[in-house]
Each structure stands twice: as structure tokens, then as C-alpha cells.
Structure 1
Amino acid sequence: MSLGLLGVALFALSLPMTRLAVGSTQSPQLSPEFVALGRAAVAGVLAAAWLVWKRASWPRRRDWALLAAMAGGVVFGFPLLTSIALREVDAVHASLILALLPLFTAALGALLAGQRPSVGFWVFAVLGAALVMVYALLHGAGRFAWNLHWADGLLVAAMLSAAVGYALGGHLAQSRPAGDVIGWALVLSLPISVPAAWWLRPANAVQFSAWGGFGYVAVVSMWLGFLAWYRALALGGTVRISQLQLLQPFLSMMAAAILLHETLGLTTLLFAGAVLAVVSVARRMPVHQAPHPAPDSRS
């Protein structure tokens, strides 16, 4: 739980920092494509050095396909889609759209691990997601419900990409160190991320704050945060630990209020307390291992 909370806290700054890096349509900074691929390139180089230093073992042959799918979700899909979307909408709005990520992660994690969450777990998981969505309707003053932006579609796709990457990473981290899992996924991405980042590098000067945001998402969001997060998923189970992500939207909004001066009111704090209570109860609900089929006596 402690590692999971650390991972969520580190990831919570990803959206505000990405917003800081890309700017807005009125004041653009780094291009969304460069931010997404550049962060993967920087993290990939760091991960390669880490793997060499610790003399990490090579992935098993059957793991390469899972690592590639994981990279497609968390190395390319989520960063690229959110970077483009955050040019159009603010970090608070994006945080709300991504609030259903824990449910998708839990569902995929249960399928991969052969687990059967109890009915109580799903009741509280859905309740937590419902609280977040109610907050979205109230906080957005109708924007989310009645005036969907095209960027919201990108954020939904980003949420699905992250859920796939988190579930696969948590599954792989059960059989090898979490640092190796994200490390090999990043290294596997280097042949694409490095040339693309170099091609997309900014031609004009950008603000120092934009480079600061880029540095955070490259080093912390894309690498260090995953060390804690995937280890937590392996130790506590993807289904249970993923529910800590319900707190991430509120942490992101608080960070956006501090760093970007976006609006944050009392309603946000009240809903954050309610979601925290739901997470505390949901993580105590039993999660059962699905029974394995009995062996065929004729074999």
C-alpha cells in the first residue's frame, strides 16, 4: 500500500507537468509529440544504464510480446494521447476523465491473474468511480455532460492504454523485479523513441518551466514512478492496489491548482475525503483465486 501510494503521488504530477511542458493553444511550448516520445527516449536511456549496472537478466522469450504490448500502452499510448489532449483542455478536466482508470486496471488485472474479486469489492469500486463521475458533473458545471470536447476522446483512449500497460506490467512484475519490467519495456522502445524525439526536437526557444515539466515526466513519471507502482502491483495484487488510483485525480487537481493556478474548491476536498473512505473499505474486500480445472483422469 505504501509503494502504491508513492506511485500514485508521483503519477499525480504527470498531468500538470505535461500541461506545463506543452503549454496551451494560446501559448504553445514543446510539441505534444516531442514531449511524449522525448520522455520515452530519456527514460529509456536511463533504464538501459540501470539494467547494465545491475546486470539484469534478459526477459524470457514469451515475455517479449507482453513487454511490447505494455510499451504500447504506457510508453507510447498514454503519454502521446494525454500530451495532445492537454493542449486543448486543462489538467483538472483531464484528471476527471481519467478517473475511471482503476476500474479498467482492476478488470484487466483480474483476468490476467485468474482472480475473482468479491461482489463487495466491485460494489465499492463502482461506488468510488461513481463519486468521481458525480464530482465531474458538479465541478464541470455541465461541461463534461453537455459539451464534450474532442480531446475527451483522446483521454478515454489514453485511459484504456494505461489500463492495459498497468495490468500487463503488474503481471510481469510477479515473476521479475519491477525495475526490470519497466526498464526492458523502455529499452524495447528506444529504436522508435530516440529517432522520433530527435526528429521532433524543438526548433525555437521555449520557456524554462516547459523544460522542467518535460524533465519530470521523463525521469519521474516514465521511470521512477513505475519502479514503485509495478512493485506495489506485484506485492498487493493488481485488483486491490489499482483502487489507489481513485485518489490520483484529486492529487492531480491539487497539483494543478498549485503549479498552474487552476481552480480548486471545497467540493474537491470533500469528494477526495469520500473517495479515500471508499478506497479504504474496498481494499479490505476479499479477492479470491479462480479455481483451476481438474486434470483429465484419462491423460
Structure 2
Amino acid sequence: MLGMALVGSSVTVSHTLVGASLFTPQAIRYAIATVILLVVARLAGTRLVWPRGREWLWLAGIAVTGLLLFNVAVIRAVEHAEPAAVAVAVACVPVVLAVVGPALERRRPSRQLLLAAPVVVTGAVLVEGTGRTDAVGVAWAALALACEAAFTLLAVPVLRRHSPWGVSLHAMWMAAALLAVLAATVEGPTAAWELSGIEWAAIGYLALMVTAVAFVLWYSTVRAVGSGRAGLLTGIAPLAAAAVGSVSGSGAPSPSVWLGITVLILGLVLGLRPHHVSAAEVVRADPPTSARSK
């Protein structure tokens, strides 16, 4: 929940980078976050290992889709659609994770999550509102949705061996390297010098709180409760964005926003409440010792 609140707060902070170059600020952001996370992991005594075999593909997939393409898709989408329309598309992530996540974890989708996910999405849509778009905007928004889901789903196969720290760190340095190449090629090596002091401050906040801290919190949650249940928590991001927006001067939330907040909270309660296992289910899952010996 804290990680998603930080992500939601990034909406207002990221607005200060609208006039900056596309790739250079993101490359700096992920490079700073890599250094921060590496230092903290060493101080905490966390064991980090290098990827091997197919792990390179999973981690590179996170870097390319969840970090690189997602940012490009969102920026390109808002050129053809209102931000609310893009937010609505990304808000559909809980439904995707509730269906696809358990399949990757070799479990059947939970009926509880399948019921709660649409409620969370509805609440997020009410909070964000709707917006106008065109066919190109819809395509970019759909890509943003796919990339946001991939950020979680591609981490499932490697979380056990690499831990949330390792997955976050490897995805960050890979994304930083890719973005640095793009920045140097497209924008030139001097683009960083054109950034203002406010833009550097925004990059620092995004690197520390929204990347280094939020990534570890998010992947820790995915490993602890599964991608399906964790996906419901993405609904907290629009709540945080609305709260930060009202504090920063955009005014008090409208009645539709309050309704969306209520619906979203109901969805979270529905999906995150403890699942009580019946005695019959326990017997089926763990038969008596005499039965196992046979």
C-alpha cells in the first residue's frame, strides 16, 4: 500500500518533467536508483546474485516493458488522449493480474479476486474520470496496460531466487543502460546539462521513493501474497494521486471522486480479506498420516 501511494504521488512530481527530454531524465533516474539500492542492499547484508540462463530474459523483459516501454507509451498516449483516458487503461491492471498471475504461479484464479478486481477497477475509473481519445491513443494506452502488467508478471519466475532486492536492482541497471544508449543517440550527451534545478529535484524524488523504495516494497508484496492479490493494491495509486493533487492546489475532490474512493475501498476489502479455509479443504489438502503412509 505504501509503495502504491508513492507511485500515485509521482503523478504530480512527474508533471515537472513534461518540458524535459524524454530519455535522459529516465536514464538518470534509474542509474541513481541502482546506486541507492546497491548501497542499501550491501549495508543490509542482502545477498545478490547474477542472473543465469533464462533469468536474463525475464529480467530484461521487466526492464524493457515495465520500465522503458511503459514510460514511452504513457508519454505518447497523452499526445492523443487525455491523461484520464490513459489512467483508466492502466487501472485495468488488477483484472489482468487476477487472471494471469495465478496461472504463472500454477494456481487457479481465486473467485474472491475475480469478483474484487472489477470493483477496484470501477473505483479507479470513478476517481480518475474519463477522457477523450482517438484510435492511436487507445493503442498506446493498451500498450501501457500490457507493460504495467508485465512489470509484475515477468518477475514471478525469478522472485524466489533473486528476492525483491535482486529483481529490482537488475531491472533498474538494465533499464538505465538501455535508456542511456537511447539518450546519447537521440538527445545527445549534453541533454543532462539542460535540466533545471526543479527537474533534478523531481528526478531525485522519483529515483529514491518511486523507484528504489517502491520497487522493493512492490516485489516484496508480490512474493508474499501472490501477484493476483497484490494487483488489487494498484488501485491505491489513483487515491494517492487525487490526494496529492488536492493538497497541491487542484481543489477538493468532486463527488464522483469520493464515490470512486468508496467503491475502490470496498473492492480492496472484498479482495484482501482473509480467506477462511474449511475443515474439509484442510483434510483434502493434508490427509492424515495413516492415509499418507498408504
The separation in 1 between residues aligned to 2:79 and 2:244, in whole angstroms, is 17
The separation in 1 between residues aligned to 2:202 and 2:184, in whole angstroms, is 18
Aligned with 2:63 (options 60, 71, 76): 71
Where do 5+ consecutive residues of structure 2 fail to align?
278-294
The separation in 1 between residues aligned to 2:161 and 2:37, in whole angstroms, is 19
| Number of the residue aligned with 1:293 | none
Is 2:48 the partner of 1:56?
A: yes
| Number of the residue aligned with 1:173 | 159
- Contact (CA 8 Å) 2:98, 2:110: kept in 1 or not? no
TM-score for the superposition, normalised by structure 2: 0.78
What residue identity is the alignment partner of 1:254?
A: A
The separation in 1 between residues aligned to 2:211 and 2:90, in whole angstroms, is 17
In the TM superposition, residue 111 of structure 1 has moved relative to its aligned partner by 1.8
What residue identity is the alignment partner of 1:181?
A: V
| Number of the residue aligned with 2:231 | 242
The separation in 1 between residues aligned to 2:249 and 2:86, in whole angstroms, is 14
The separation in 2 between residues aligned to 1:259 and 1:97, in whole angstroms, is 25
In structure 2, relative to structure 1, the CA distance for the partners of 1:251 and 1:203 (3 Å cut) is closer
In the TM superposition, residue 224 of structure 1 has moved relative to its aligned partner by 1.7
Aligned with 2:30 (options 29, 32, 40): 40
Is 2:146 the partner of 1:157?
A: no
Matches within 5 A, 1:117-128: 117-128=109-120
The separation in 1 between residues aligned to 2:251 and 2:237, in whole angstroms, is 16
- Contact (CA 8 Å) 1:94, 1:155: kept in 2 or not? yes
In the TM superposition, residue 234 of structure 1 has moved relative to its aligned partner by 0.2
In the TM superposition, residue 184 of structure 1 has moved relative to its aligned partner by 1.4
Q: How many residues align?
A: 273
Aligned with 2:172 (options 179, 182, 186): 186
What residue identity is the alignment partner of 2:20?
A: L
In structure 2, relative to structure 1, the CA distance for the partners of 1:21 and 1:100 (3 Å cut) is same
The separation in 1 between residues aligned to 2:6 and 2:168, in whole angstroms, is 15
| Number of the residue aligned with 1:31 | 21
TM-score for the superposition, normalised by structure 1: 0.77
- Contact (CA 8 Å) 1:81, 1:157: kept in 2 or not? yes
In structure 2, relative to structure 1, the CA distance for the partners of 1:94 and 1:263 (3 Å cut) is farther
Which moves more between the two structures, 168-177 or 238-247?
168-177
The separation in 1 between residues aligned to 2:201 and 2:78, in whole angstroms, is 16
| Number of the residue aligned with 2:10 | 14
The separation in 1 between residues aligned to 2:24 and 2:77, in whole angstroms, is 14
In the TM superposition, residue 270 of structure 1 has moved relative to its aligned partner by 2.2
Which moves more between the two structures, 54-63 or 175-184?
54-63
- Contact (CA 8 Å) 1:71, 1:186: kept in 2 or not? yes
Matched position secondary structure for 1:174: helix
Identical columns (%): 19
| Number of the residue aligned with 1:294 | none
The separation in 1 between residues aligned to 2:236 and 2:65, in whole angstroms, is 21
Where do 5+ consecutive residues of structure 1 fail to align?
23-28, 289-299
The separation in 2 between residues aligned to 1:47 and 1:161, in whole angstroms, is 23
- Higher Cα Rg: structure 1 or 2? 2
Residue by residue over 1:218-241, the C-alpha shift from the partner in whole angstroms, topping out at 9 and shown as x without a partner, is 332222210110001101111111
In structure 2, relative to structure 1, the CA distance for the partners of 1:48 and 1:256 (3 Å cut) is same
The separation in 2 between residues aligned to 1:43 and 1:283, in whole angstroms, is 30
- Contact (CA 8 Å) 1:51, 1:180: kept in 2 or not? no
The separation in 2 between residues aligned to 1:264 and 1:150, in whole angstroms, is 30
The separation in 2 between residues aligned to 1:178 and 1:85, in whole angstroms, is 30
Matched position secondary structure for 2:273: coil
| Number of the residue aligned with 1:230 | 219
Aligned with 2:102 (options 110, 117, 120): 110
Residue by residue over 1:268-293, the C-alpha shift from the partner in whole angstroms, topping out at 9 and shown as x without a partner, is 122112111111111237599xxxxx
Aligned with 2:202 (options 213, 228, 234): 213
What residue identity is the alignment partner of 2:206?
A: V
